Amino acid sequence: MYKCDLHSTPCFIQDGRHLQLNPSRLQLWAREIVLFDMKSSVFINKNNSATQMQNSQTSNTPTPIFIQLPSQVYQNLTNTHLELPSSSKLPSIGEFLNNLDLKYNCNNIYAKFEDAFLEEEITVNAIKDLTDEQLQKLGVVKIGWQKNIKQAAQQY
């Protein structure tokens, strides 16, 4: 775990991308580790040297997993106040894109992406986490458009 100079919080940094680590992301990460571990459990039988798949369906009772975090990370996470915007403050994708058209004096440039965002069920607060490639798949092919959309989404 790294303390990010950019965000002043714990971040996972890979290929220049920063993912701020908050309690909900850590919980999701831990859940994915457990699911991956259950699906890929393999043991070797030393008696006949055969590799056998361990039956991960033997019990329907979930096994609790405890992840111990360094104390400084735990303090940072518990002292961090997550300020999530309420759903009433979060605009719809249509409103968000129309506001960009108004802001940049465009004639329906951004609003035309609404159907693609809706089809992929992308909310305004998720836009800031999209990669350039993902935006291109949504039809946002110009760099300027990508930058303007991501920049406007940062406030959510």
Given a cut of 50, whether residue 49 has pLDDT beyond it is no
Question: What average pLDDT does the structure give for the chain?
Answer: 76
Asked if 100 and 120 sit in the same domain, the reply is yes
Same domain, 141 and 106: yes
73 occurs within a structural domain: yes
**Would 138 be classed as within a structural domain?**
yes
9 within domain boundaries: yes
Of residues 70 and 113, more confidence is placed in: 113
Looking at the structure, tell me whether residues 72 and 21 fall in a common domain: yes
CATH number at residue 108: 1.10.150
16: containing domain: 1-38+59-83
Q: Do 135 and 70 sit in the same domain of this protein?
A: no
- Are 139 and 64 contained in the same domain? no
Domain co-membership, 78 together with 1? yes
Say how far apart CA 75 and CA 65 lie, in whole Å: 20
Q: pLDDT above 70 covers what percent of the chain?
A: 63
Domain boundary among 49, 83, 117: 83
CB-CB contact of 97 with 110 (8 Å): yes
Q: Domain count of the chain?
A: 2
Write the pLDDT tens digit of every residue in 106-119. 999 999 999 999 99
- Of 121 and 47, the structure prediction assigns the larger pLDDT to 121
d(CA 65, CA 104): 49
pLDDT: which is higher, 58 or 22: 22
Q: How many CB atoms lie within 10 A of CB 140?
A: 24
Q: Model pTM?
A: 0.45
Which residues is 89 bridged to in the sheet?
none
Q: Is the pLDDT of residue 151 over 80?
A: yes
Answer yes or no: is 32 within a domain.
Answer: yes
Do 19 and 64 fall within a single domain? yes
Query: Is 74 in the same domain as 106?
Result: no
Q: How far apart are CA 33 and CA 99, in angstroms?
A: 40
